[in-house]
Structure 1
Amino acid sequence: MVTQAVTRGAAPRLRADATRNRERIVAAAQEAFIEFGPDVPLDEIARRAGIGNATLYRHFPDRRELIRSVVLSVLATMADEAEAIMNDAPDAFTALEAIVHGAVEWKIGALCPMLSDWMDLAQPDLQAARDRLDIVVTGVVNHAQAEGTMRTDVGPGDIMIIASQIARPLPGAAPADHGYFVHRHLQLVLDGLRTPQRSILAGRPATLDDLRDSCVATRMQHH
């Protein structure tokens, strides 16, 4: 009986260790991809995660699977945070501001090269994660416009494109300096989304599909 109890107790600890290792690898990979791009050596990711190369390859046999896990993790985190913000914010525009500032912190701009170069956008789990985030972002934009606090000539794609572009550091900029200015400049843009609008925008509101099409176009230019 004692032996059986020990055996039953050991297995969950092993599974918990494996889960923690996987989470550490994904977190380290996300940081490394943001800093160096999706081609960063996997040895560097293992070093940052504090695990050996063999452990990394046991969880992720190739780079594509690791990138896929990072993208899914970021999309899920963004959706979780955005849903929580919407539930707690006093109004839709306040929720929008928090979500957009959060998108910069989540480094959404770093997803574009990974989506365009490494991912099959038709994969069911990726499609489901994207759809979930799309629903949240589109919903908060629609609510803000319905409340009359947000100009109606912009779309959710405009918002995410703004966030991803402002989040990209200037060449040679120190990370600390960029982190300070990015939220300052982002707030200037967000103030420009409020009503009453003071200008007429050229073109049409951008959709989230436009954002994805832009990622695909970037991939084609690189190849």
Structure 2
Amino acid sequence: MSSGTGTPAVRSVPRPRADALRNRERIVAAAREMFVEQGPDVPFDEIARRAVIGNATLYRHFPDRADLVHEVVLSVMSRVAERAEAAVRTVSEEGGDPFEALRRFVHEAADERIGALCPMLSEGFDKNHEDLLAGRERLEAAVEDLMDRARKAGRLRADVAVGDLMVALSQLTRPLPGSGGCVNFDQFVHRHLQLFLDGLEAPARSELPGSAATLEDLRRPQ
């Protein structure tokens, strides 16, 4: 079809309707909650019920479970990255103690339950998808920046790296296997994170065994 000037008309791609976007956001939010509570194999009809939508709507947005898991992981990474970037902006624009900004970020990231993503990263999950690599790089860059500012201010001990922080954050926000009928460990997450953060402050009170954990260490196959 021509535009009348000899050049082909360009078709505009219709934007998703506002209600469709809202439904998609509700699905991802509900799935994130239920993946944390029950794991990545929670039935789709339960996710639809939590999102207050019909099953057909859920399948229309996410016909495959892998697509939904991908979107949830991407969403959590994005939200945590936004919090890290906000902490960096606060230090950069308003000044203040960069270690306290790091402390606030860690507690905010814990509320996103980033450690609950670990069970979802199974063999069938594409960890090297373009979107996920970009999201991971964004998150890592922001956390590295925040830690570097705290280190240069003499507030963060010099023998730790971003990998150390991510390991602790992941372990303390990951549901323990078989703990369903045991103690409610969630109530202790922020308490134990605070203990960990106290151990990151300079001057160091002890010498750590081994070497600082880098992000490359975390990605290296065991």
Query: How would you bin the TM-score normalised by the shorter chain?
Result: 0.7 to 0.9
1:110 pairs with one of 105, 116, 129: 116
For residue 198 of structure 2, the aligned residue among 185, 188, 191 is 191
CA apart distance, 1:43: 1.1
Per the TM alignment, residue 136 of structure 1 is displaced from its structure 2 partner at its CA by 0.5
Structure 1 residue runs of 5 or longer lacking an equivalent are: 1-10, 218-223
Other structure's SS at 1:56 match: helix
Number of matched pairs: 202
Q: Report the aligned-residue RMSD.
A: 1.9
For the 8 Å contact 1:72–1:126, the answer to whether it is kept is yes
TM-score, normalized by length of structure 2? 0.84
Shift of 1:169: 4.7
**Corresponding position: 1:200 with 2:216:** no
Q: Tell me by how many angstroms 1:72 deviates.
A: 0.7
CA distance in 2, matches of 1:56, 1:106: 23
Counterpart of 1:84? 86
Q: 2:114–2:174: 8 Å Cα contact kept in structure 1?
A: no
Match for residue 100 of structure 1 among 94, 97, 106: 106
Q: Distance in 1 between matches of 2:208 and 2:150?
A: 18
1:132-182 deviations in whole A, cap 9, x for unaligned? Answer: 00100111111111111111111101001111112235523454xx34321
Scaled by the length of structure 1, the TM-score of the pair is 0.84
Pick from 46, 55, 65: which aligns with 1:53? 55
Q: Percent identity?
A: 56
Q: Which runs of 4+ in 1 moved over 6 A?
A: none
How many angstroms apart in 1 are the aligned matches of 2:138 and 2:174? Answer: 25
Give the distance between the partners of 2:174 and 2:117, measured in 1 at CA. 12
- In structure 2, what is the Cα distance between the partners aligned to 1:84 and 1:174? 34
Structure number having the greater helix percentage: 1
